[in-house]
Amino acid sequence: MKFMGYRREDGRIGIRNKVLILPTVSCSSETARIISSQVAGTTTFCNHTGCGQVGKDAQRTIDILIGLGQNPNIYGVVVVGLGCETAQPNIIAEGIKKSKKPVQAVVIQEEGGTLRAALKGAQYALEMVQAASRQERGECDISELIVALECGGSDPTSGMASNPALGAASDLVIQNSGTTILSETTEFIGAEHLLAARCVDSYVSSELLKIVKDLEESVKNMGADLTGGNPSPGNIRSGITTIEEKSLGCIYKAGTSPVTEVIEYGVKPSKRGLVVMDSPGFDIDSVVGMVASGAQICVFTTGRGTPVGNPIVPVIKVTGNPTTFVNMKDNIDINAGTILEGDATIQDVGGEIFEEVLRVSNGGMTKAEAFGFSESSIWRCGTSV
Amino acid sequence: MSSKAALIIDIGDNVAVALRDLKEGQHIEITRGDCTLKLVLIEDIPVYHKFALTELNEGDKVFKYGEIMGEAMCKIRAGEHVHIHNIKSLRGKYNEVHGI
């Protein structure tokens, strides 16, 4: 099955063709926003990390920023640094250049303030956006697609309608030799035995059980219970009682395909098929991890409704709750509530999601994308210093 | 709107999910595999919340999606609302591990 995408120098396929104005640290985020606001065709986000970090936590932020820059939906990158931060702009720029795309860097302290940095950054962005606009879409195979699977603002309809429908769509992507990523390790707790039984071999299975055990232990080491954090107060009000119940509903979004590998947060998959990525249940951290690992598109199920988008990939929103579809129509692309109303089957809506993935890959805009939403955060694994 | 009042997701479940707001005293008929199960609700059940299909005793496992989703903290009667006030998670719990 084919779609029209942008073939990049590193061989990967993009479904968007944006120029990323990438702030390496919180301190340069506002200057990056000014640059982006001057040049149509650019995208940016507020980076909450990039400094006061050490060890694995610092390295993860650097790797994720590089991964976001390398994402094939991005034609070229203008790195905007402050100068003194942990995530040094030259390291980020050099890392992104390995994907052979155009990369420029401006450093606020070296340029002499926001206005001079913004001038230089906007000049770079202007050239890149024009060059990007000359690139044409070409025929690509769906096997080149990596689809991020996400759920958030869940309610009990998520496990009965939207997640099983997304699971059917995920199976269709995989039957066409594509890749989907299941993340949110917290939401495997209580359902991990079902996923472990679907792993291609005992090594993958043990890796999967390990990430769940490590996450559960880290919660206990904080002296906390999951309940109240996950399931959240909203999940509980809607009728989800325990993390086990939430997880059992969540993993339906990965369909029935075998798990081919378990990857760390933000790392590129080395296998096709259903890949599991270690990430928290916090939607924004989770989506950003999958985008840094190269996903070009995200399908996001919700019960209560959520506006979340992403600066780099289009996010298709699906709800299994027919009331939410009406109440939050601005934010929801697909109504899977028809399943509970008896008007459609899980397979019907799965097919609808799959077709929407192709339409959006061809350039069709999602609602979150039309709003220009850019929620982003990076999963921390250390304290600020 | 669905004509069904409630749904048993898996044949092994001992709870059902309300598909609309249900009222105390309401007579419910639900399909379970080839049989029809009849019970009377003993309290209001908000839409998408759960109610017990059979009597559960303290320590009994609660099944939804055919899997264990928690444990009863007290006796729960058939037709009673099942939620955080009468069942608990068995996972990610600091207090239990540390005996607090």
> The complex's ipTM?
0.94
pLDDT at B97 over 50: no
Q: Which of residues 216-275 of A touch B (CB under 8 A)?
A: 216, 219-220, 222-227, 230, 236, 238-239, 241-245, 248-249
Does A310 map to a domain? yes
pLDDT tens-place string over residues A302-342 = 999 999 999 999 999 999 999 999 999 999 999 999 999 99
- Boundaries of domain holding B11: 6-97
Does A7 map to a domain? no
Buried b (16+ CB within 10 A) or exposed e, A361-381: beeeebbbbeeebbbbbbbee
Looking at the structure, tell me whether residues A120 and A226 fall in a common domain: no
Q: Residue B95 CB: number of other CB atoms within 10 A?
A: 11
Question: Would you place residue A219 in the very low, low, confident or very high pLDDT band (cuts 50, 70, 90)?
Answer: confident
Structure tokens at A321: 């709750």
* Residues pairing with A13 in the sheet: A7
Q: What residue in B sits closest to A161 (Cα-Cα)?
A: B9
Looking at the structure, tell me whether residues A118 and A152 fall in a common domain: no
Looking at the structure, tell me whether residues A215 and A348 fall in a common domain: yes
Looking at the structure, tell me whether residues A292 and A308 fall in a common domain: yes
How far is the first Cα of chain A from the last one, in angstroms, to the nearest whole number? 50
Give residue B99's pLDDT.
44
Looking at the structure, tell me whether residues A318 and A247 fall in a common domain: yes
What 3-state DSSP class applies to A149? strand
DSSP-assigned letters across all residues of A318-340: EES-HHHHHHTTTT-SEE-TTTT
Nearest to B1 among A194, A238, A341 (CB): A341
Does A5 map to a domain? no
Choose the final residue of a domain: A117, A133, A149: A133
Looking at the structure, tell me whether residues A209 and A341 fall in a common domain: yes
Q: Which of residues 289-328 of A touch B (CB under 8 A)?
A: 321
pLDDT at B93 over 80: no
Does B1 map to a domain? no
Q: What residue in B sits closest to A303 (Cα-Cα)?
A: B48
Q: Which of residues 13-32 of B touch A (CB under 8 A)?
A: 17, 19
Give residue A182's pLDDT.
98
User: For residues A21 and A352, is the Cβ–Cβ distance under 8 A?
Assistant: no
pLDDT at A154 over 50: yes
Average confidence (pLDDT) over A276-282: 96
Choose the final residue of a domain: A91, A107, A133: A133
The rounded distance, in Å, linking the Cα atoms of A281 and B27 is 38
Does B22 map to a domain? yes
Question: Would you place residue A26 in the very low, low, confident or very high pLDDT band (cuts 50, 70, 90)?
Answer: very high
The rounded distance, in Å, linking the Cα atoms of A208 and A217 is 15
Give residue A227's pLDDT.
72
Q: Which of residues 88-147 of A touch B (CB under 8 A)?
A: none
Question: Would you place residue B33 in the very low, low, confident or very high pLDDT band (cuts 50, 70, 90)?
Answer: confident
- Boundaries of domain holding A318: 141-371
The rounded distance, in Å, linking the Cα atoms of A92 and A87 is 7
Looking at the structure, tell me whether residues A90 and A150 fall in a common domain: no
Question: In which residue are the tokens 């409704």 written?
Answer: A305
- The secondary structure of chain A in percent helix, strand, coil, rounded to multiples of 5, reads 45, 20, 40
What mean pLDDT is reported for chain B? 91
How many angstroms away from the CA of A265 is the closest CA of chain B? 21
Query: Residue A32 phi/psi, 5° resolution?
Result: -60, -40
CB pairs under 8 A between A and B: 98
Structure tokens at A87: 């995530």
Looking at the structure, tell me whether residues A251 and A338 fall in a common domain: yes
- Reference A241, options B21, B85, B42, B93; nearest CA is B85
Nearest to A216 among B3, B91, B95 (CB): B91
Question: In which residue are the tokens 């000359």 written?
Answer: A134
CA B50 to chain centre: 4
Looking at the structure, tell me whether residues A112 and A148 fall in a common domain: no
B85 part of contact set with chain A, CB < 8 Å: no
Looking at the structure, tell me whether residues A116 and A170 fall in a common domain: no
The rounded distance, in Å, linking the Cα atoms of A29 and A65 is 13
Contact A243 B91 (CB under 8 A): yes
Average confidence (pLDDT) over B26-50: 95
How many angstroms away from the CA of B28 is the closest CA of chain A? 18
Residue B51 belongs to domain with CATH number: 2.30.130.110
Does A366 map to a domain? yes
Does A385 map to a domain? no
Average confidence (pLDDT) over A348-377: 98
What 3-state DSSP class applies to A249? helix
The number of residues making up chain A comes to: 385
pLDDT tens-place string over residues A236-262 = 999 999 999 999 999 999 999 999 999
pLDDT tens-place string over residues A161-182 = 999 999 999 999 999 999 999 9
Between vectors from CA A291 to CA A213 and to CA A101, what angle results, nearest 5°? 135
Residue A57 belongs to domain with CATH number: 3.40.50.261
Percent of chain A whose predicted confidence (pLDDT) is above 70: 100
Looking at the structure, tell me whether residues A121 and A230 fall in a common domain: no
Looking at the structure, tell me whether residues A190 and A323 fall in a common domain: yes
How many angstroms away from the CA of A245 is the closest CA of chain B? 5
Does A299 map to a domain? yes
Nearest to A248 among B1, B50, B67 (CB): B67
Number of domains observed in the structure of chain A = 2
Does A203 map to a domain? yes
How many angstroms away from the CA of B58 is the closest CA of chain A? 17
Query: Residue A13 phi/psi, 5° resolution?
Result: -115, 130
Question: Would you place residue B96 in the very low, low, confident or very high pLDDT band (cuts 50, 70, 90)?
Answer: low
User: For residues A167 and A252, is the Cβ–Cβ distance under 8 A?
Assistant: yes
CB contacts of B64 in chain A (<8 Å) are: 245, 248
Does A380 map to a domain? no
What mean pLDDT is reported for chain A? 97
How many angstroms away from the CA of A236 is the closest CA of chain B? 8
Choose the final residue of a domain: A81, A110, A133: A133
pTM of the model: 0.96
Q: What is the DSSP letter of A372?
A: T
User: For residues A253 and A301, is the Cβ–Cβ distance under 8 A?
Assistant: yes
What 3-state DSSP class applies to A204? helix
The rounded distance, in Å, linking the Cα atoms of B99 and A320 is 39
Number of domains observed in the structure of chain B = 1
pLDDT tens-place string over residues A107-126 = 999 999 999 999 999 999 99
3-class SS string, chain B: CCCCCEECCCCCCCEEEECCCECCCCEEEEEECCEEEEEECCCCECCCCEEECCCECCCCEEEECCEEEEEECCCECCCCEECCCCEECCCCEHHHHCCC
